[in-house]
Amino acid sequence: MKKYLVFMLLLTNSVIAFAQQKPAYILYNAEGKKVSYNKMIKQLAKKDIVLFGEFHNNAISHWLELAVAKDLSEKRNLTFGAEMFEADNQQALNDYLAGKLSAKGLDSSARLWSNYKTDYAPIVNFAKEKNAPFIATNIPRRHASLVSKKGFEALDTLPALEKKWIAPLPFDYDAQLPGYVKMIEMMGGHGGPNMPKAQASKDATMAYFILQNFKPGNLFIHYNGSFHSENYDGINWYLKRKQPDLKYATITTVSQKNIKELLAENKGKADYIICVDEDMTNTY
């Protein structure tokens, strides 16, 4: 019996050692130092608002989004919000959370992303289970598209009802924020100055609805593409302009060939950085 227990212990240690040699991800802090998941949870639980920046097609991002929500729910009451829901779909989302609308009904009533069932439904259903609010924070796509073509001024022409689904006009805007500058660079001169303005219309609107639905004492977790909050600009910039005294934290996702050391270019992107092996299978 003793030999059997020793064998099992050695086998277990071997399995753990093997897993540690090829982890799917490693967590880092902003300085590029490795940090434990439990320490991250402990620190996040002290915040008011957490911006969780994901790669939309990354399985590790989505798995951790749900895991973090479950673990934080043991410490705090939560409010959820997401880029993936446009503000004018809030009623349909509320009806689903209240049990007045089926999953199929939500699918037909709201403009759900194509990967909703696999990547976001688990979080929405967890919020439903916890009877927690889930806020549709994003500007309707048609309005962001309008900005990309005609600039912020085009939003002034919208009827009052449509303006309910965007942040109050006029938006603050800083074209020199790193994310917007990078967008221009990535476009190679195509798209013009209105492309980052369309991005800003999303950032400003998401920040607005986060703050409109923030409840003192609750922790608000917001899910968005990493581009909307990394380097502490985007949504984060708008939040801090309106409510600088709240306690914020950011998470972002990066991908590297070797995840055992964070590349210099990925340091400082967020308070917590999920470094994922670039060979990780995408969800789409």
Does any domain span residue 261?
Answer: yes
The whole-angstrom separation of Cα 203 and Cα 2 is: 61
Residue 187: what pLDDT? Answer: 77
Residue 11: what pLDDT? Answer: 45
Pairing of strands 25-29, 272-277: antiparallel
Domain that holds residue 164: 25-277
What is the CA 223 to chain-centroid distance, rounded?
3
Type of residue at 199? Q
Say which CATH number the domain at 255 has: 3.40.50.11550
pTM of the model as a whole: 0.91
Per-residue pLDDT of the chain (284 residues; tens, 9 = 90+): 554 444 445 444 544 444 557 899 999 999 999 999 999 999 999 999 999 999 999 999 999 999 999 999 999 999 999 999 999 999 999 999 999 999 999 999 999 999 999 999 999 999 999 999 999 999 999 999 999 999 999 999 999 999 999 999 999 999 999 999 989 888 776 668 899 999 999 999 999 999 999 999 999 999 999 999 999 999 999 999 999 999 999 999 999 999 999 999 999 999 999 999 999 988 88
Does any domain span residue 8?
Answer: no
Does any domain span residue 106?
Answer: yes
Does any domain span residue 259?
Answer: yes
Does any domain span residue 3?
Answer: no
Token pair of 84, please?
């993936």
Residue 118: what pLDDT? Answer: 95
Query: What's the number of domains the chain is made of?
Result: 1
Element (H, E) at 277: strand 272-277
User: Alpha helix (H) ranges present in the chain?
Assistant: 2-21, 37-44, 59-73, 90-97, 103-109, 121-129, 141-150, 160-163, 178-187, 194-213, 235-242
Does any domain span residue 10?
Answer: no
Does any domain span residue 18?
Answer: no
Does any domain span residue 283?
Answer: no
